[in-house]
Amino acid sequence: MAYKSLLTVATSPEGLLPTVTAAAQIAVAMDAHLDGLALGVDRTQVGYTYVGSGAVMIAAAMERAETEARETEKALNAAMAAQEPALRWSVDSVVTQLGALTDVVAARARYSDLVILPRPYGKTRTVEDEAVTEAALFEGMAPVLIVPPEGMASAEPKRVVVAWNQSREALVAARRAMPFLRRAETVQIVVIDPPTHGPERSDPGGLLCQLLVRHGVRAEVLVLAKTLPRVSDVLAQHLRDFDAGLLVMGAYGHSRFREAILGGATRNMLEAAEVPVFLAH
């Protein structure tokens, strides 16, 4: 079991190498093909232009987007070429308006086994990065691997944490991450403050552990108390203590609107995680 078709999307020529290198290492390890998509985004909001200036501004914005797409494509090609010769890869570029970005990314993500992207939040990230991540997860229906700025230590992490809360999203993530889980030396199913009244109250994480073990995964269950204010804080601390190389978790268990306004475990982990985060919805 392995991923065979990988996709990475770049919205800027800066900071490509950690994400591309991680994607390339996974592609080589799993004998997969890596597709790169360079985006040039027209951010024009025609409704707010002055009368008579709309056509000029649209033309200038499209020209700027085309230039950005060429520069990003050039940087993406250079990053791909810097990888080991065994990598099979291709790069394409697309110019799109911000409102159509979701459709462009989703169309590519739907036919990929895994989408590898940089962290969508941070000082150097833009609204396009968040839009690309959500497009791949929701409309593209693809699992997404978020690579931190430090990169990915290994294409086949030996110590993996699965964040388990009995949700549909967490189960989908565990299933989609199976190629990583089967290659790991140890997989910890981490349950934080399991509910006292629920279907798994007597054996939290037990059924998931059984499922994974039957697939050849060396899995174990660990129940943790919520000793810090947020679930994401407890997870982050455990990742450091366990020296994990990958976190697997369900994405956006609450509504996307609530996550955006109030935050949530998904967003908190993406903002601060020191290891790659595997997401599925």
24 is in which domain, residue-wise?
A: 5-147
- Which residue in the block uniquely carries the two structure tokens 């190498």? 17
Question: Measuring CA to CA, which residue among 148, 146, 151, 173 is closest to residue 162?
Answer: 173
Q: What share of the chain is helix, strand, coil (3-state, %, to 5)?
A: 45, 20, 35
Q: What number is the average pLDDT over the span 53-82?
A: 86
Cα–Cα distance, 81 to 64 (Å, whole number): 26
Which has the closest alpha carbon to 135: 155, 109, 168?
109
Is there a single domain that holds both residue 138 and residue 227? no
For 8-29, give one letter per residue: b (16+ CB within 10 A) or e: bbbbbbebbebbbbbbbbbbbe
Residue 186 within any structural domain of the chain: yes
Claim to verify: residue 168 and residue 119 sit in the same structural domain: no
Q: Is residue 135 part of a domain?
A: yes
Give yes or no: residues 204 and 123 share one domain: no
Question: Are residues 184 and 255 located together in one domain of the fold?
Answer: yes
- Domain for residue 152, yes or no? no
131/196 same-domain check: no
d(C-alpha 164, C-alpha 170), whole Å: 6
pLDDT at 52: 53
Look at 78-87, 101-110, 116-125, 208-217 and tell me which has the smallest mean pLDDT. Answer: 116-125
Report pLDDT for 258. 46
What is the C-alpha to C-alpha distance for residues 89 and 84, in angstroms, rounded to an integer? 11
Q: In total, how many domains does the chain have? A: 2
Shared domain for 130 and 167, answered yes or no, is no
Q: Which helix (H) or strand (E) holds 260?
A: helix 256-262
- For residues 123 and 30, membership in a common domain is answered with yes
Domain boundary pick from 100, 124, 147: 147
Asked if pLDDT for residue 116 goes beyond 80, the answer is yes
Tens of pLDDT, residues 118-170: 999 888 788 899 999 999 999 999 999 999 999 999 999 999 999 999 999 99
CA distance 88 to 131: 27
Instruction: Find the CATH number of the domain harbouring 216.
Output: 3.40.50.620
* Same-domain check for residues 167 and 143: no
Tokens of residue 40, six digits: 């040039």
pTM: 0.91
pLDDT for 62 equals 81
In a domain, 35, yes or no: yes
Sorting pLDDT into bands at 50, 70 and 90, what band is 255?
low
Q: Taking the CB of residue 64, how many other CB atoms lie within 10 A of it?
A: 16
pLDDT in tens, 196-244: 766 767 789 999 999 999 999 999 999 999 999 888 999 999 999 999 9
User: Tens of pLDDT along 258-270?
Assistant: 455 435 778 888 8
